């Protein structure tokens, strides 16, 4: 049995013992996320739903990914892009269009929103080619591998980051990915997961970061402190020299991560940053927490961590490790719900769940990995490419925008108005599995088509009726979400009545059209 050089923290929290208070940001989260659903800071600021409710397409080249983005009706039209195969410089070209801003030799998610990229089938590998997210919001990247992306100036380069975000990015969830390099900066590699220039509300979960000089950073310099609200949980950092991550300003929450062979330093909190570090397992590593390579101090709140064969350097100059007996020097309030696995079981749980190709398995808070909920739109291989055309937005004006809304009892934290606000990141849910929501106008309006969009993590609508609320007439009935047409009706109020469902439906938008 390995003997720890540093003192183990003895007050390990029992699995599931801590549940943080519910937040008061733009959306309210439940005490714990559904298995496989978005977690952490990406649930805040309206939530992160990616391409939920939109068209699903298949891509086997980088050019096809760009083409899918450029073929949308607008830069915010939701889309899920299922990726299979190897994406590289040879098959990634620039594609032009009014709904995209792409570039050759990199997957460019620039000035867009409401996009999911998910690996399916035999898997998706981005080889020597990274993913850029610029001036964008509501993005999900799931179940992919990104490897050996080199720095600017090399023959195979996208600026050096496996996944990089900058310039006003909001609400990104990166989940079950594998990010890896084959060396450090001297070999031409840079960061695996970087956030710069006002990037906020990001979660990295159930992922592997390995074999790199730099794990990632939040803030490109001591003056770039507009980033933050980032959650890292159930990730494996293995054979990383430093930046696991580097945090400049802002707030980050690290829980239930397994850090193995951090060779020079680990969580580097500096320039006023505050890190909440809960129930992580640090193993065979050096200086895993502190303020390093600067005299601009950062801060941390620690609880329940295990330090297994961790060595600590002496404090001197700009090198200030938190150990050998780390104690909190700040407090951090977390606005979302979360449940902790006990730190002792973290290596085992992370080994079974983290990275691409693990079936999106997650932890249930009691050290037992489980598969995602069946209602989650996970990246299972659908066989043939899926193209649910009816969920594409119909042509014409969405008459619901600016209209009123009401309905039956709603679930806590939801609003009737969320179905008419044009934002797929917000939603209404009934208080149970069935209920109704209505769109209403001050004067008679002719409607002949509706489009129902579900939010990410929604239950399935088993049966519904569309009613002319003025007369009680049934305009249409069916199951699921998407677009339905019916004979034109002049009415002041139209009602979606959900009569059967699996799970709790989340209605993101109740769109109405004249034709």
Burial of residue 56, with CB atoms counted within 10 A of its CB: 0-12 exposed, 13-18 middle, 19 or more buried? buried
Find all residues with CB under 8 Å of 346, minimum gap 6, and list them.
Answer: 234, 256, 257, 258, 279, 280, 281, 306
Decide if 194 contacts 217 (C-beta within 8 A). yes
Beta bridge partners of 113: 137
pLDDT of 152 reads 66
Query: How much of the chain is in helix, strand and coil states, percent to nearest 5?
Result: 5, 45, 50
Decide if 446 contacts 514 (C-beta within 8 A). yes
pLDDT of 456 reads 58
pLDDT in tens, 210-241: 999 999 999 999 999 999 999 999 999 999 99
Residue 428 phi/psi, 5° resolution? -110, 140
pLDDT of 396 reads 81
CA distance 128 to 106: 9
103 pLDDT above the threshold of 60: yes
Element (H, E) at 64: helix 62-70
Nearest to 4 by CA among 347, 281, 327: 281
What b/e readout covers 378-414, taking b as 16+ CB neighbours within 10 angstroms? Answer: bbeeeeeeeeeeebbbbeeebbbeebebebbebbeeb
Nearest to 455 by CA among 378, 377, 371: 377
> H helices of 190-345, where?
none
CA 15 to chain centre: 24
CA distance 319 to 475: 70
% of the chain at pLDDT higher than 90: 70
- Tokens for 256, please give them: 């239930």
Other beta carbons within 10 Å of 133: 26
Nearest to 61 by CA among 157, 152, 120, 126: 126
Higher pLDDT, 34 or 367: 367
Element (H, E) at 65: helix 62-70
Find all residues with CB under 8 Å of 233, minimum gap 6, and list them.
Answer: 39, 40, 203, 204, 205, 206, 253, 254, 255, 256, 257, 338
Confidence of residue 153 (pLDDT cuts 50, 70, 90): low
Beta bridge partners of 235: none
- Tokens for 460, please give them: 């399935």
CA distance 467 to 471: 8
472 pLDDT above the threshold of 60: yes
Nearest to 47 by CA among 113, 108, 111: 113
pLDDT in tens, 321-361: 999 999 999 999 999 999 999 999 999 999 999 999 999 99
Decide if 297 contacts 274 (C-beta within 8 A). no
Confidence of residue 484 (pLDDT cuts 50, 70, 90): confident
Pairing of strands 474-478, 460-468: antiparallel
CA distance 110 to 70: 11
pLDDT in tens, 262-300: 999 999 999 999 999 999 999 999 999 999 999 999 999
The answer to whether the bond into 29 is cis (omega within 30° of 0) is: no
pLDDT of 373 reads 65
Element (H, E) at 346: helix 346-353
CA distance 207 to 258: 10
Decide if 107 contacts 368 (C-beta within 8 A). no
Pairing of strands 131-134, 435-454: unpaired
Cα-trace Rg, the chain: 24
pLDDT of 364 reads 82
Annotated catalytic sites, by residue? 243
Q: Which SS3 state, helix, strand or coil, does residue 47 take?
A: coil
- Tokens for 183, please give them: 């060396």
């Amino acid at each position: 049995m390995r003997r720890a050089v540093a003192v183990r923290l003895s007050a390990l929290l029992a699995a599931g013992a801590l549940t943080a208070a519910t937040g008061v940001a733009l959306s309210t989260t439940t005490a714990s996320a559904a298995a496989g659903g978005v977690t952490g800071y990406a649930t805040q600021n309206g939530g992160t739903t990616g391409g939920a409710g939109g068209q699903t397409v298949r891509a086997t080249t980088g050019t096809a990914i760009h083409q899918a983005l450029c073929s949308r009706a607008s830069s915010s039209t939701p889309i899920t892009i299922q990726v299979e195969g190897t994406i590289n410089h040879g098959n990634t070209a620039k594609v032009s269009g009014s709904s995209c801003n792409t570039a050759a030799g990199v997957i460019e998610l620039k000035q867009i929103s409401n996009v999911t990229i998910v690996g399916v089938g035999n898997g998706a590998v981005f080889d020597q080619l990274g993913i850029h997210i610029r001036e964008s919001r509501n993005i999900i990247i799931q179940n992919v591998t990104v490897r050996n992306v080199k720095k600017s100036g090399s023959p195979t380069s996208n600026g050096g980051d496996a996944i990089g975000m900058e310039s006003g990015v909001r609400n990104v969830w990166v989940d079950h990915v594998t990010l890896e390099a084959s060396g450090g900066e001297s070999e031409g590699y840079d960061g695996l997961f970087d956030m710069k220039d006002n990037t906020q509300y990001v979660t990295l979960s159930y992922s592997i970061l390995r074999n790199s000089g730099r794990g990632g950073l939040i803030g490109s310099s001591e003056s770039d402190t507009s980033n933050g609200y980032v959650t890292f949980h159930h990730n494996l950092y293995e054979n990383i020299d430093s930046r696991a991550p580097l945090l400049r300003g802002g707030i980050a929450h690290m829980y239930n991560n397994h850090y193995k062979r951090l060779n020079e330093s680990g969580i580097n909190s500096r320039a006023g940053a505050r890190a909440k570090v809960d129930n992580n397992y640090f193993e065979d590593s050096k200086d895993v927490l502190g303020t390093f390579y600067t005299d601009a101090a950062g801060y941390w709140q620690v609880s329940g961590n295990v330090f297994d064969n961790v060595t600590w350097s002496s404090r001197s100059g700009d090198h200030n490790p938190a150990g050998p007996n780390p104690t909190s020097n700040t407090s951090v309030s977390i606005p979302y719900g979360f449940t902790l696995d006990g730190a002792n079981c973290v290596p085992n749980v992370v080994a079974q769940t983290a990275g691409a190709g693990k079936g999106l398995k997650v932890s249930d808070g009691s050290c037992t990995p489980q598969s995602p909920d069946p209602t989650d739109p996970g990246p299972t291989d659908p066989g043939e490419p899926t193209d649910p055309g009816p969920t594409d937005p119909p042509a014409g004006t969405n008459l619901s925008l600016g209209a009123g809304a009401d309905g039956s009892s709603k679930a806590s934290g939801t609003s009737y108005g969320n179905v008419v606000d044009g934002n797929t990141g917000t939603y209404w849910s009934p208080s149970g599995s069935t209920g109704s929501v209505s769109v209403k106008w001050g004067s008679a309006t002719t409607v002949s088509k509706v489009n129902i969009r579900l939010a990410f993590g929604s239950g399935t609508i088993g049966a519904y009726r569309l009613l002319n609320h003025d007369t009680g007439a049934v305009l249409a009935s069916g199951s699921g979400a998407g677009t339905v047409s019916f004979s034109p009706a002049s009415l002041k109020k139209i009602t979606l009545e959900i009569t059967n469902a699996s799970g709790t439906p989340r209605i993101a938008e109740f769109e109405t059209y004249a034709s």
